[in-house]
Amino acid sequence: MSARDRIKETNPAFYERYSMLEDTDEFWEFIIRPLRQSIRVNTLKAPLNVVVERLKEEFELEPVAWVREGFFISVDNLAKVPEHSLGLIFGQEASSMIPPVVLDPRPDELVLDMAAAPGSKTGQIAQYMANEGCIIANDPKLSRANVLIANLNKMGVLNARVTTKDGAYFGRFENTFDRVLLDAPCSSVGMIRKSWKFLTGWRLRGVIKYMNIQKRLILAAYQALKPGGTLIYSTCTIDPLENEEVVDYLLRKTDARLERIDLPVKTSEPVLEWEGKTYSSELKKALRIHPNDNDTEAFFIAKILKPEGGE
């Protein structure tokens, strides 16, 4: 049975909705094809070249084009790799490494990671900040925050403080953070490659529920951002309601503007019209990544700037 037919049979509403985005055999095949294992080398613990040379003795490595520390690795079980146990490498999906790269945090800054668990992106941010400055790493669920703390400890992150607030809480800290990452909770369509449950459990009402949460969070994130600061909005889904719709909502409500992202990554065209609604042409500057573009999870990334003298 083809991938298309398996998806049609498993969740007809899912197929009907996303065939409006792309309807090629390749697209459907990559939506459900198992993910390649990828890692990020943690330079907080050891120099990049030292770790890479050590890994090459045992494994085939393929560089991830858009992040210097990222590699695809041929290994069945990462947990059995000593470098993983020691926190020298961290299992992280290749496209999920893009938001911290685009955020581009600096060592002396105050950064908010609004939905941080399980902490792969927080660790990457800390790496770029050389463990200096301060990261507020937030997750509202205590169980997820505990996983976040464990992972940050394992990676040797020293400049993060973990909080367990609803992300919208940070809206009260107006004009406070130099940079904000909102890797928003979403319907996780891009993660079907990790788990079939994201296909069987998909419902449009879930997408709409997440969209409403995301709109609340993105407004709070923008409010908390300093004028001249950068907000990265990202999701691991392909639904326009959770991506272009949310960013367009922010553009309409505030003085936010988008900046083009220049990375060696293959992308699909952002959606500027969906279900009869037209979105700002600014959204052409966002990255929409389908699973078949780079053989990764699906991802959406928008780089949002707050003008000097902004809200």
Q: Catalytic site residues?
A: 236
β-pair type (273-274, 277-278) = antiparallel
Cα angle at 101 between 97 and 102, to 5 degrees?
A: 115
C-alpha dihedral sign at 44, 45, 49, 54: negative
C-alpha dihedral sign at 192, 197, 198, 203: positive
Q: Which residues contact 114 (CB under 8 A, 6 or more apart)?
A: 138, 167, 170, 180, 181, 182, 183, 217, 220, 221
Compute how many other C-beta atoms are within 10 angstroms of the C-beta atom of residue 61: 16
The upper half-sphere exposure of residue 181, i.e. CA atoms within 13 Å in the direction of its Cβ, equals 32
Q: Say if residues 111 and 133 touch (Cβ distance below 8 Å).
A: yes
- Cα–Cα distance list, 21 to 16, 77, 290 (Å): 10, 34, 10
Please state the separation of Cα 160 from the chain's center in Å.
19
Question: DSSP label at 268?
Answer: B
Rounded CA separation 108/114 (Å): 19
